[in-house]
A and B are shown apart, each in its own frame.
Chain A
Amino acid sequence: NAGVTQTPKFRILKIGQSMTLQCTQDMNHNYMYWYRQDPGMGLKLIYYSVGAGITDKGEVPNGYNVSRSTTEDFPLRLELAAPSQTSVYFCASSYLDSTDTQYFGPGTRLTVL
């Protein structure tokens, strides 16, 4: 049981490049979330999903897209990378909604130059 896995662990992008951050969970959780963590700050919600085929915006969705075609996978896409997207990205999952415990992946550290 791997829990929540994220790839890659680190990535450097040039301004304007695109990439997809992968997230997979093997706990059969319904809910999945993407957060970003900027230095000295807490986590901010980018997007979340309550189940396959359903996604919703969080607090800071601009510049990102998501999809949820299966229960297990919740990729996050950056279309035109900007320096403001330099951050650590965490994927999380929970069986129920935000009142339930969320389990986090190890994070992806992204730098946009």
Chain B
Amino acid sequence: AQKVTQAQTEISVVEKEDVTLDCVYETRDTTYYLFWYKQPPSGELVFLIRRNSFDEQNEISGRYSWNFQKSTSSFNFTITASQVVDSAVYFCALSERSYNTDKLIFGTGTRLQVFP
């Protein structure tokens, strides 16, 4: 079955530390998409990145970077020089599309707390 595992339930760091959030997925599909969303304390879900299964290039956006490794079925997210505003729950998600379903499968999230 399709599945997303975020084994780190909670991570605490001090500001300016680098932190990596792990995401491991299982899928039968040869073509799929992976996503990261941020849920700050205010509760909304903010889209961060979308990556397709054919593109294994790492991506960097400011202090954020993503490492996609198909060989280990992982899509890890690193925040460099973390800031208090990065405190949130981060969700990794996997697309699942078949004859009878069309949805995102979410991991259970990693709560990141950044202390000043």
Contact = CB atoms under 8 A, between A and B. Distances in A.
The secondary structure that dominates the B interface is: strand
A110 to B, nearest CB: 13
B63 to A, nearest CB: 21
Nearest to A31: B102
A112 B13 CA distance: 36
Q: Which of A43, A88, A97 has the most CB of B within 10 A?
A: A43
B108 A103 contact: no
B8 to A, nearest CB: 13
Interface in B1-27: 4
Nearest to A40: B108
Interface string A87-113: 010101000011111111111010000
Given A42-B108, A104-B44, A106-B44, A50 B35 contact: no
B106 A43 contact: yes
Contacts of A48: 102-103
B45 A98 contact: no
A101 B107 contact: no
Contacts of B45: 90, 92, 104, 107
B103 A58 contact: yes
B97 A97 contact: yes
Interface of B: 4, 31-33, 35, 37, 43-45, 47, 50, 52, 91, 93, 95-97, 100-109
5 contacts: A45-B103, A88-B43, A98-B104, A99-B33, A102-B35
Interface of A: 31, 33, 40-45, 48, 50, 56, 58-59, 88, 90, 92, 97-107, 109
